[in-house]
Chains A and B, each alone.
Chain A
Amino acid sequence: MILDRIPIDAIGVQERVDRICSRSIKKESKLQALDLALRMMDLTTLEGSDSAGKVRQLCNKAMHPYTELPNIPSVAAVCVYPNRVKLAKEILKDSAINVASVATAFPSGMSSLEIKLDDVRYAVQEGADEIDMVISRGAFLSGDYALVYDEIAQIKEACAHAHLKVILETGELGSLEHVRMASDLAMEAGADFIKTSTGKIQPAATMPVVLVMLQAIRDFHHKTGKTIGMKPAGGIRTSKQAIQYLVMVKEILGEKWLTPDLFRFGASSLANDVLMQWVKEKTGRYQSLNYFSND
Chain B
Amino acid sequence: MGKRKDGPISVSKLFFKRLVRTINIIMSQKKSDSSTMPIHWEYAHAPESTDHVQYEMQYGLFIDGAFSDYDPSKSFDSVNPATGELLYQCTQADEKDVDTAVKAARKAYEEHWGSIKGSIRGKYLYRIARMLQERAREFAVLESLDGGKPIRESRDIDIPLAAAYFFYYAGWADKLAYAFPAKKVTPLGVCGQIIPWNFPLLMLAWKIAPALACGNTVVLKPAETTSLTALKFCELLQDIGLPNGVVNLITGPGQTGEYLVNHDGIDKIAFTGSTGVGKKIQQSIAGRNIKSTLELGGKGAYIIFEDASLNEAVEGIVNAIFFNQGHVCCAGSRLLVQEGVADRVIELLKQRMATLIVGDPLDKNTDVGAINSQNQLNTIQRYVDIGLEEGAECFQCEGNIPSSGFYFRPTLLTNVSQSSKVVQEEIFGPVLTVQTFRTTQEAIDKANNTPYGLANGIWTDKGSKIFHVGSQLRSGVVWSNTYNKFDPTSPFGGYKESGKGREGGVQGLAPYVHLESNVEAEI
Contacts and interface: CB of A to CB of B under 8 A. Distances in A.
A118 B364 CA distance: 52
Given A24-B46, A26-B46, A161-B21, A13 B312 contact: yes
B2 A114 contact: yes
B309 A9 contact: yes
B482 interface: yes
B404 interface: no
A117 interface: yes
Contact of A255 (B25, B31, B41): B41
A261 B312 contact: no
Nearest to B462: A7
Contacts of B41: 29, 32-33, 36, 246, 250, 255, 258
A256 B351 CA distance: 14
Given A8-B309, A11-B482, A26 B44 contact: yes
B457 interface: no
A25 interface: yes
Interface in B10-26: 18, 21, 24-25
B461 A7 contact: yes
A95 B152 CA distance: 44
Interface string A13-51: 101100100111111111011001001000000000000
A224 to B, nearest CB: 15
B309 A158 contact: no
A259 interface: yes
Given A12-B481, A255-B41, A258-B38, A96 B21 contact: no
Contacts, number: 107
Interface string B304-322: 0001110111011000000
B389 interface: no
A257 interface: yes
A88 to B, nearest CB: 14
Contacts of A95: 31
Contacts of B24: 93
Nearest to A33: B41
Interface string B43-54: 111100000000
A11 B28 CA distance: 44
Secondary structure class of chain B's binding surface, majority of residues: loop
B42 interface: yes
Contacts of B347: 222
A8 B44 contact: no
Contact of B4 (A8, A26, A121, A256): A121
Contacts of A269: none
Contact of A24 (B18, B28, B364): B364
A215 interface: yes
A245 to B, nearest CB: 13
B365 A23 contact: yes
A73 interface: yes
A260 interface: yes
Nearest to A89: B24
A114 B1 CA distance: 11
B355 interface: yes
B40 interface: yes
B156 interface: yes
A96 B307 contact: no
B156 A8 contact: no
A16 B309 CA distance: 13
A68 interface: no
Secondary structure class of chain A's binding surface, majority of residues: helix
A128 to B, nearest CB: 11
B38 A259 contact: yes
Q: B38, B156, B365 — which one has the most chain A CB atoms within 10 A of its CB?
A: B38
B375 interface: no
B36 interface: yes
B482 A255 contact: no
Interface in A69-100: 73, 93, 95-96, 98
B35 interface: yes
A233 B178 CA distance: 54
A12 B309 contact: yes
Contacts of A122: 6
Given A23-B365, A114-B2, A259 B46 contact: no
Contact of A261 (B36, B40, B156, B355): B36
A12 B5 CA distance: 50
B37 interface: yes
B44 A12 contact: no
Contacts of B42: 29
Contacts of A6: 309
A9 B481 contact: yes
B39 interface: yes
A251 B365 CA distance: 13
A24 B38 contact: no
B39 A12 contact: no
B315 A7 contact: no
Given A12-B309, A121-B4, A255 B38 contact: yes
B152 A30 contact: no
Given A11-B482, A259-B36, A260-B36, A16 B312 contact: yes
A36 B39 contact: yes
Interface in B480-514: 481-482
B73 interface: no
Given A39-B35, A121-B4, A255-B38, A25 B43 contact: yes
Interface in A152-200: 157-158, 160-161
Interface in B23-82: 24-25, 28, 31-32, 35-46
A-B residue pairs, 10 tightest by C-beta? A12-B312, A24-B46, A96-B32, A7-B461, A24-B364, A96-B31, A29-B44, A9-B312, A9-B309, A7-B309
Given A11-B481, A158-B2, 14 more contacts: A9-B481, A11-B312, A12-B316, A13-B311, A19-B315, A23-B364, A114-B2, A118-B5, A121-B2, A157-B1, A161-B18, A215-B311, A255-B41, A257-B38
Interface of B: 1-2, 4-6, 18, 21, 24-25, 28, 31-32, 35-46, 152, 156, 307-309, 311-313, 315-316, 347, 355, 364-365, 461, 481-482
Interface of A: 6-9, 11-13, 15-16, 19, 22-30, 32-33, 36, 39, 73, 93, 95-96, 98, 114, 117-118, 121-122, 157-158, 160-161, 215, 222, 246, 250-251, 255-262
29 contacts: A7-B461, A12-B311, A12-B312, A12-B315, A13-B311, A15-B312, A19-B315, A24-B46, A24-B365, A26-B45, A29-B41, A29-B42, A29-B44, A30-B44, A36-B41, A39-B35, A96-B28, A98-B28, A118-B2, A118-B5, A121-B2, A161-B25, A215-B311, A246-B41, A250-B41, A250-B355, A258-B41, A259-B38, A260-B35
